Amino acid sequence: MEVKMRSKIVFAFVFLILGIGGVSAGDVYLFSGDVNDSVLNIEGISYLGDSLEYEEDNFTGAYSVVFLENGQEVKENEFYLWEGLNVFLFSVKVPDGIDEIVFEENENEIHRVVISQNAPSIDSFDVVDNSGVFDLSWIASDLDGDDLGYSVYISHEGGGWGLYSSGIEENNLIVNNNYNGDLRFKLRASDGFNYAEAVSGSFSVEGFPGFVSIENPKEGLYAFGEGIELIGKAFDYNFNLIGDDYNWHSDIGGFLSTGNNILIDTLTMGVHSISLAVSHLGIIDLGRVDIEIVEACNDADVNEDTVVDVSDLAVVGGQWGTDGEANELGFSGDITGDAIVDIGDLGALGFNWGSSTGTCA
280 in the same domain as 243: yes
pLDDT, tens digit, 9 for 90 and up, residues 43-94: 667 766 654 555 555 555 678 889 898 888 888 877 777 666 677 777 788 8
96 in the same domain as 13: yes
pLDDT higher at 66 or 361: 66
249 in the same domain as 313: no
- CATH number where 106 lies: 2.60.40
Residue 173 has pLDDT above 80, yes or no: yes
85 in the same domain as 172: no
* Predicted local distance difference test score (pLDDT) of residue 18: 25
Which domain-ending residue is among 152, 180, 205? 205
Q: How open is the CA angle 146-44-15, to the nearest 5 degrees?
A: 135
109 in the same domain as 6: yes
How high is the mean pLDDT of the chain? 77
Domain count for the chain: 4
Q: What is the mean pLDDT of residues 302-327?
A: 85
153 in the same domain as 71: no
Which domain-ending residue is among 142, 173, 205? 205
* Predicted local distance difference test score (pLDDT) of residue 126: 96
Answering whether pTM is above 0.75, one says: no
7 in the same domain as 83: yes
pLDDT band at 153 (very low <50, low <70, confident <90, very high): confident
Say how far apart CA 238 and CA 223 lie, in whole Å. 37
Which domain-ending residue is among 205, 227, 249? 205
Q: What is the 3-state secondary structure (H, E, C) of the chain?
A: CEEEEHHHCCCCCHHHHHCCCCEEEEEEEEEEEEEECCEEEEEEEEEEEEEEECCCCCCCCCEEEEEEECCEEEEEEEECCECCCCEEEEEEEECCCCCEEEEEECCEEEEEEECCCCCCEEEEEEEEEECCEEEEEEEEECCCCCCCEEEEEEEECCCCCEEEEEEECCCEEEEECCCCEEEEEEEEEECCCCEEEEECCCEEECCCCEEEEEEECCCEEEECCCCEEEEEEEEECCCCEECCEEEEEECCCEEEEECCEEEECCCCCEEEEEEEEEEECCEEEEEEEEEEEECCCCCCCCCCCCCCCHHHHHHHHHCCCCCCCCCCCCCCCCCCCCCCCCHHHHHHHHHCCCCCCCCCC
Domain that holds residue 129: 121-205
201 in the same domain as 214: no
Say how far apart CA 95 and CA 72 lie, in whole Å. 13
95 in the same domain as 72: yes
pLDDT band at 125 (very low <50, low <70, confident <90, very high): very high
359 in the same domain as 344: yes
- CATH number where 182 lies: 2.60.40.10
* Predicted local distance difference test score (pLDDT) of residue 235: 82
Residue 182 has pLDDT above 90, yes or no: no
Lowest average pLDDT, out of 27-41, 146-160, 211-225, goes to 27-41
pLDDT higher at 208 or 126: 126
178 in the same domain as 216: no
* Predicted local distance difference test score (pLDDT) of residue 10: 23
pLDDT higher at 165 or 238: 165
Cα-based distances in Å from 238 to 207, 241, 242, 277, 352? 16, 9, 10, 20, 36
* Predicted local distance difference test score (pLDDT) of residue 334: 84
81 in the same domain as 7: yes
- CATH number where 317 lies: 1.10.1330.10
